[in-house]
């Protein structure tokens, strides 16, 4: 048997957390939203919010990153019942990978059908500009190449199958919906579609690493989201994700640019309103049975 720290929380422990949350709010969320660095304003759009600090939720880890509020917000967005994470958990905070993805299991047990994730990322694609919003169509899981996968260890069939398919990790109907909504909102000048690569962090990438990742086919690079998507898909939820291009990855040894977290947060503030409109409009078109009003 694997130790508990390797397997993450058990099904019963996740059920305890889900039951505790459901007993403290009458809202039954169908959409889960994860807010990335500087993008916590999405949660402020929820009507009739009920807020829980992570530290008060049984079994929940704590968010330690500046720009992440560290709380769960229940409410309605465009008439749809939602639960929103203001702040997520990362490998670089020291948590085992199975524990940073605990919320996905809990959301599934609460009845969530669709997950929408946002993150701030570095732009590898040289056509991208700071402030662009990239619809993630696929990902490259670099930690997974080294065996660090959130599904490693014993598999509980109540969550999902042992070997889940990832060729449909990002729901294509939701990607199409985002493109249509973006066009209607007039976001065509800064709305992109590309491949996201996750690294463990917390150090930003070297020039050589950025060049390598770009050649492998990555358009943007960051330190989150992919692990959540893997667990959400394992649990049968549909996934959609957006990256806010908060800085251009340095790929030239003559460049004086340096990636920094302050720039990430500042870019989030500048583009937050448009990103919130895009997500809100998409949520408004979701149907409870996972259909989409395109």
Residues taking part in catalysis: 37, 68, 90, 92-93, 120, 223-224, 247, 261
Kindly give, in sequence order, each residue whose CB lies less than 8 Å from that of residue 280, ignoring residues fewer than 6 positions away. Answer: 45, 77, 78
Q: In a 3-state reduction of DSSP, which class is residue 193?
A: strand
Q: Where are the beta strands (DSSP E) in the chain?
A: 31-35, 47-53, 71-77, 80-86, 114-123, 133-141, 191-198, 220-222, 238-248
Please state, in angstroms and rounded to a whole number, the distance separating the CA atoms of residues 212 and 88: 27
Please state, in angstroms and rounded to a whole number, the distance separating the CA atoms of residues 117 and 171: 12
DSSP letter at 13 equals H
Helix (H) or strand (E) holding 185: helix 172-185
The two three-digit tokens of residue 191, written as one number: 């709305």
User: In terms of residues, how long is the chain?
Assistant: 294
| Pairing between β-strand 71-77 and β-strand 47-53 as defined by DSSP bridges | antiparallel
Please state, in angstroms and rounded to a whole number, the distance separating the CA atoms of residues 282 and 294: 9
Classify residue 262 by burial, with Cβ atoms within 10 Å: 0-12, 13-18, 19+.
Answer: exposed
Please state, in angstroms and rounded to a whole number, the distance separating the CA atoms of residues 286 and 271: 23
The two three-digit tokens of residue 70, written as one number: 């560290």
């Amino acid at each position: 048997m694997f130790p508990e720290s390797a397997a993450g929380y058990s099904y019963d422990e996740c059920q305890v957390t889900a039951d505790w949350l459901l007993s403290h709010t009458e809202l039954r969320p169908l959409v889960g939203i994860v807010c990335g660095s500087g993008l916590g304003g999405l949660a402020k759009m929820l009507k009739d919010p009920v807020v829980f600090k992570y530290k008060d939720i049984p079994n929940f880890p704590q968010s330690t990153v500046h720009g992440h509020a560290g709380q769960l917000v229940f409410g309605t967005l465009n008439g749809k019942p939602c639960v929103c994470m203001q702040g997520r958990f990362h490998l670089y905070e020291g948590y085992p990978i199975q524990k940073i993805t605990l919320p996905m299991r809990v959301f599934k047990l609460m009845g969530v059908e669709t997950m929408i994730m946002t993150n701030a990322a570095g732009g590898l694609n040289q056509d991208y500009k700071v402030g662009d919003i990239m619809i993630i169509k696929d990902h490259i899981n670099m930690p997974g190449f080294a065996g660090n996968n959130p599904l490693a260890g014993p598999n509980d069939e109540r969550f999902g199958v042992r070997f889940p398919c990832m060729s449909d990790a990002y729901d294509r109907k939701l990607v199409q919906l985002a493109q249509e909504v973006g066009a209607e909102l007039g976001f065509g000048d800064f709305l992109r579609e590309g491949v996201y690569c996750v690294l463990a962090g917390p150090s930003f990438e070297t020039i050589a690493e950025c060049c390598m990742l770009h050649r492998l086919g990555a358009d943007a690079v960051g330190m989150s989201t992919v692990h959540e998507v893997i667990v959400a898909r394992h649990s049968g939820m549909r996934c959609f994700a957006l990256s806010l291009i908060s800085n251009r990855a340095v790929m030239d040894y003559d460049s004086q640019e340096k990636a920094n977290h302050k720039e990430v947060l500042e870019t989030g503030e500048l583009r937050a309103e448009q990103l919130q409109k895009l997500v809100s409009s998409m949520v408004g078109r979701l149907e409870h049975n996972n259909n989409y009003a395109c």
